[in-house]
Amino acid sequence: NEGNEYFKEKDYGRAAAAYSEGLRRRCGDAELDAVLLTNRAAAHFHLGNYRSALNDVIQAKKLKPTHLKAIIRGALCHMELKNFVEAIAWCEEGLQIDSKERKLVEMRAKADKLKGTFLGTQTDFCTRRRCQGRAVTCSVCPGNIKLVLEPSDEEEEVSGGLAELSLDGLHSGSATGAKVHLDADGHLSWPVLFLYPEHEQTDFTVAFQENSRFIDHLMVMFAELPPWDVEKKYLPNNLELYFEDEEREEMYEVNPEHTLLQVLQHKRYFVKAGTPTVLVFAKRSPFSKKYFSGKKVHRL
């Protein structure tokens, strides 16, 4: 009930956290757990966390195979992720339960139309230029976002997918395939990489809508403590976010209340490989003090 109230207020981060708390109670009622999972999936969906939403509805469907809301939400997630063949399969599964469900009928037709013509989802922000020996920096004119496209030895398209990133020896995972794209409301959604240098861990958000706040995502991501946080320090309100200006070896603190767009528009923020990156530390941790040693840090 608490999650539903937050959802009505469009406070999707707190809604997801409330549904997570309900699931932690392990009530033993499979139908109620299926509802909680489906509702949390809806909150994830509105936050642009389509992969997390899809994982939730898959679990909900295991608990209640005929749960039509879960099937509809799963089809919607596949549509957003441009997995049109999978979207069709989910639609057909739902239509076996209710052959007149309007959302599924319309989505099935749309997915069938798009699957044969879809060639890619990334937005071409600026004309690609080839540059020998150095990265090419260009600005996304509408939002003044600076992209850094790494040069390639071959004549191939610069992908918006996640490339191998490194930061002081910390490497990203292989979360390839996600691209910046325009969502149904005409807003940009970005794949965003969260780095936790203290624990050499990462999180990858497939679709972080540009007008979403960081705190909203943190509330969802840390609704449950990650298994590597044995000291229980990584709580949503006990985190500090930064981005690094590698050229100047300077760190900039990020306000969790700010949107992704506000951060991307910072004069010293450069998006590499089409994937914005943010560093996350526990507040006042000895590790962060050591990490910042020798670097100029711009605090809020």
43 against 82, higher pLDDT: 43
* 3-class secondary-structure state, position 185: coil
Contact between residue 4 and residue 20 where contact means Cβ atoms under 8 Å apart:
no
Boundaries of every domain in the chain: 1-120, 147-151+176-299
Q: Which CATH class is domain 147-151+176-299?
A: alpha beta
Residue 169 has pLDDT above 80, yes or no: no
Q: What is the per-residue pLDDT for 138? A: 42
250 SS3 class: strand
Is the pLDDT score of 114 beyond 80? yes
* Residues whose CB is less than 8 angstroms from the CB of residue 109 and which lie 6 or more positions away in sequence, other chains included: none
Separation of alpha carbons 119 and 105, rounded Å: 24
- Kindly report, residue by residue over 123-163, the tens digit of the pLDDT: 343 333 333 333 333 434 445 788 876 544 433 333 333 33
pLDDT of residue 81: 82
Q: Which residue has the tokens 């203290």?
A: 198
Name 4's Cβ contacts closer than 8 Å, sequence gap at least 6: 15, 39
CA distances (Å), 221 to each of 124, 273, 300, in order? 30, 23, 23
Higher confidence at residue 167 or residue 84? 84
Q: Is the pLDDT of residue 180 over 50?
A: yes
Residue 4: pLDDT over 70? yes
User: Could you tell me the CATH superfamily of domain 1-120?
Assistant: Tetratricopeptide repeat domain (1.25.40.10)
What confidence score (pLDDT) does residue 143 get?
56
Which region among 32-36, 63-67, 107-111, 184-188 has the lowest average model confidence (pLDDT)?
184-188
- Distance CA(49)–CA(205), nearest Å, equals 6
Look at phi and psi of residue 149 and say left if phi exceeds 0, alpha if psi is from -120 to 50, else beta: beta
Instruction: Give 42's pLDDT tier (boundaries 50, 70, 90).
Output: very high
Please tell me what DSSP assigns to residue 203: E
The structure's pTM equals 0.53
First to last CA, the chain: 36
